[in-house]
Structure 1
């Protein structure tokens, strides 16, 4: 598979709005600002949640959200996904009724941006998953992925205030999704993988966001054995990664990275003297920390 099968559409003017203001010198400026819109998700006839999203891949977001909340399983058949842009509604239909009522009774508040409520027992599936112990992560792949992803045109580089997630294989970035919440971005990738029968075997998950418990749980639920981030960790995220034998790489910028779980998968094949420091124009500060 070639690099970047799916990338952010920086030319889609529906995703941002030009807004006038003034800068630090009091001069008038015209700057693009990301759009966020409410999207209400239905599973058959039941309303599940309303999310704030940029609405570029609502069908993938809907399926991925349901998969990552265990309201759908990988084996469930999806008969249709219907999106109404004017109403801001997406409906996922299955041929048979799904048993998700109990999952609506328990809610926990999370640290996620733009998606603060996760339904159900998030550990229901987590503890049963065995990640691929034969998977490896070469350090040369970490540096090459960072370079390719940073240099790819993105909504972040165009307008900021957004998170990115990328499904990768070895040193190749494959599926690049962005959204105002990192959970939306990861759910879009989960939905894409389900819709296109993409196997998690040999895959790597890259995110610009923090390595929180929710990011670790979703990566494990997707059965991806490696999670890399430009940003930092939370202690519970690290503990869950260790419990699940997930390789967890954070603070991956320039020549630096830090591995706090699953270090046995690392193969140190990169010559650091040949790795260039990150160009300042690609450094993402503030919104992803």
Structure 2
């Protein structure tokens, strides 16, 4: 075996979608190192190239892709090609988007709803369909799904986003029990507000907002420990958790009192 082949066999392969986003980029840099092969996916090709160079400077081997994740045929072809070479050890399905009502009392545009559900919910599940058999054949792997504290209780300012994050939370929780006996870990991440363009565009207050680098450190530490759930920051997580367990009428009264149905903010982002 050559030195290069030996080195490749001992590299940890980490796949991150949405790597050009704030959390994705911070996670890429957190994982970058001389024993890591990063597969970074992002739609913004210039930003992706810059991120790849930064991760290479930190010692990582980097492969990039801008494949359309919501194109089922393209996604299948991409993941099959990856698994034919080396099935990723850790897969962080981070790509996502948000939408919100454009005016008080109006539903979100249907085209926006469909696009959001495709990338936030359908794509991570589709990725699992292709990756799990390869991970099971190897006997190891870890899937990481990005939910949100909005998954505890739907917010009037972002109902479809809340629904998608509640859905991927439930899917990841179910998958963890299903795949545990196969040696595959599943982690659900429930961030609060993390500084990013998507966060800035969200209507309503943004208490306890974290920089992406801090979020990435907490997420990586939780993934390394194969935690079932990573949720932060504590004060906001504790508060939103109560929204899930209290009677719905009380939760919805609290949401209104706390300003998370700010109709004056809708359409102003």
Q: Quick check: TM above 0.5?
A: no
More helix by share: 2
More strand by share: 1
Q: TM-score, normalised by structure 1?
A: 0.29
